[in-house]
Amino acid sequence: MVVAGALVAVLAIVAIVVFRPVAQWTAEVAPVASVLPDHWTTGDKDAIGTAAGRQSNVWFTAAHGTLADVLYPTVDADNLRQLGFLVTDGSRFFFDTATQGVASSRVTDDRALTYAMQVDDPVHQFSLVTEIATDPDRPVVVVRAHLLGHASNLSVYAYLVPHLGGSGAGQTAFFDGSRGYVNKGGLWLAIGGDAMTDQRTAGYLGRGDGYDQLHHDALENRYRQAGPGRVTLTWKVDGGGGPWVTELAFGPSREAADAQLNATQNVGPQGVFDAYRSGWRQYTAHLTAPPGDAALFFHSVEVIKMAEDKLHPGAIVASLARPWGDTAPDNDGDVGYRKVWPRDLYHAASAMLAAGDTATAYDVLRFMGKMQRADGSMPQNTDLNGTPVWTGQQLDETADAILLAVRLSGKATGPDIEKAAGYLLGKGPATQQERWEEAGGYSPATLAAEIAALRAVERWEIATNQVVDRALPLHEIIQRWDSSVESWTFGPGYYLRVSPDGTPARAEPIDIANGGGVWDQREIVDPSFLELVRLGVRQPNDPRILSTLAAVDARASGQVNLVRLWYRYPHDGYGERNPGSAPPGQGHLWPLLTGERGIYNVLAGRDATVPLAELESLAGPDQLLGEQVWEGTGLPTGSARPLVWAHAEYIILAKAVATGTVDDRPS
């Protein structure tokens, strides 16, 4: 009896030792800390994506091989600064894949928005490879990662910096069971995956959170919850030597986000990646590409389609990026280039028509109809509802709307053509802002758009038997503006960028935006004068066109790999002085201007294969064209990449080189 009793006692002790739960948390709630505003990520993205259909209203971008922005429920609503991975051996080094090492990205399927992103650590000889997709049926982002060439003693941690609702402020984050959660107001993010371990913590950004602790090699303090505030979640990944998966699911409640996450996990990561790829392949199967290597052509169409909002058909934003976002506070309310510019819409729709996606072009025209104001004008830009955001008047945008509306007349409802024409006639020809949105006066590019638009209206009125009572017949106004282009804008042997008072021969000062300084207007030339040729207002071999080409090449060009590219104009300040800074600084070379020069070459009967090849080179293995690139290297700056307008120019140029016809030139 004594022996038996002792045995029972020993077993009881053993049972307590074996089954007593280990204390997972240092404390329930992380210590409260005051946290200063955070920032976003660079505008230089190396991957972007969303499912091809409208069912999944979530988008992603990546920067330096790391998931950066996650946009939900609309393409302008950012909710994340990063989901990155941290690598440590627990004693000697700490490696942040979002900021360290050598990052690269390449498209893995020319008919889909699929990428393999890689960050290499040449010192410790390992690489992290990441793929990202969105579930085509629900708002869930799936990240699949794999550590290559690593020693067995390396540990990987996931590090999440949420910015729900467009700012890091006011969030609460916590772990519950095998998942993490972030919520703010009526928005919830649920984080799941197959490799989240119990080594995890919630914390406050920059105040002893997981990132800070891992600089000292381990998570010494682990908190289940943090917030409200600028919070983070960190957890150790158990990859087991193979790939691991992390899913981010959104919803208006915890239950809704969990339900979306459950459904995606039931499909499985490979099922999601396969469906994502298949959706884009089905979309591109209906496109028409020029002969030859059409990889960048297809990808450019996909980039434009990707930038369209799922809940507002036809609302294509200029870019998913916020230029120089890594220098911008996370609480200023600016969505960057995730706005809708009529000018960019016009180019996007023209490119989609050239590629055979007429349905999207019709949606664009309908959205332009929503954007149009009561006076007939088009706003500088709008949100996704068509509500004006910035307040500048740019007459080329109203002209662009006319050109598209006339081209698609009878195929879709769009802006009121007569109202738009009336606005041009009443406010033109001088514009408050030219197409670079900075200077007012008489701009060759704006004049070209106005004249081409009024000519299109005249043809449309004849074709549709419209009778409009005007003080002067439309053709007389067109003729007067056409005959005055040179007196308003042609200075000492070339067209000026803009002449504030229409007196181009005078030494009139012009103030360059973004700290560019004050200069004599006669010193500022701009490649955009070529719109005079593209829109049929002047002939390619007009001596004034040729002399301005020479002036632009001499004063507003630079070189990349011994090939000439162009600045917007001399002394442009819209760019960074050096990597990591932001405007004001120095404007750099714009790839879309290479597209425009190539289009001019086609119209002039010159060789356009070099500009086409240069754009393809600038796009690189990730097939993304940015707003600006650095001189010499051609590498993207911190501005917006990809830029929808640049990809639209590539599509028009590629088709023009193949056919000899510029698809968007007014007939």
Residues carrying an active site annotation? 434, 437
Across-strand partners of 119? 103, 128
* Residue 408 to residue 525: CA distance in whole angstroms: 34
Asked if the bond preceding 379 is cis, omega within 30° of 0, the reply is: no
DSSP 609-629: HHHHHHHHHHHTTTT---S-B
Can you read off the two tokens belonging to residue 347? 């180019």
Q: Are 467 and 520 in contact (CB under 8 A)?
A: no
- Helix 395-407 / helix 417-427 crossing angle, nearest 10 deg: 150
Q: Which residue has the tokens 């200075």?
A: 491
Longest dimension (CA), the chain: 119
Spell out the alpha helix ranges (H) of 408-530: 417-427, 444-463, 474-489
* Residue 316 to residue 645: CA distance in whole angstroms: 11
Across 233-266, b (16+ Cβ under 10 Å) vs e yields bbbbbbbeeebbbbbbbbbeeeeebbebbeebbe
Q: Are 67 and 84 in contact (CB under 8 A)?
A: yes
Cα dihedral: 269, 275, 278, 280 (round 10): -90
Q: What is the 3-state secondary structure (H, E, C) of 181-213?
A: EEEECCEEEEEEECCEEEEEEEEECCCCCHHHH
Spell out the alpha helix ranges (H) of 514-608: 531-534, 543-555, 591-603
Across-strand partners of 431? 441
Beta-carbon contacts of residue 12 (< 8 Å; ≥ 6 apart): none
SS3 327: helix
Across-strand partners of 261? none
- Residue 663 main-chain phi, psi, to 5 deg: -65, -30
Helix (H) or strand (E) holding 2: helix 2-19
Burial class (CB in 10 A: 0-12, 13-18, 19+), 553: middle
Inter-CA distances, 77 with 59, 71, 83, 163, Å: 10, 5, 17, 10
- Closest to 45 measured CA to CA, from 634, 640, 646: 640
Q: Which residue has the tokens 């000889």?
A: 125
Single-letter code of the amino acid located at 562: L
DSSP 476-502: HHHHHHHHHHHHHHB-SSSB-S-BTTS
Where on the phi/psi map is residue 95: left (φ > 0), alpha (ψ -120 to 50), or beta? beta
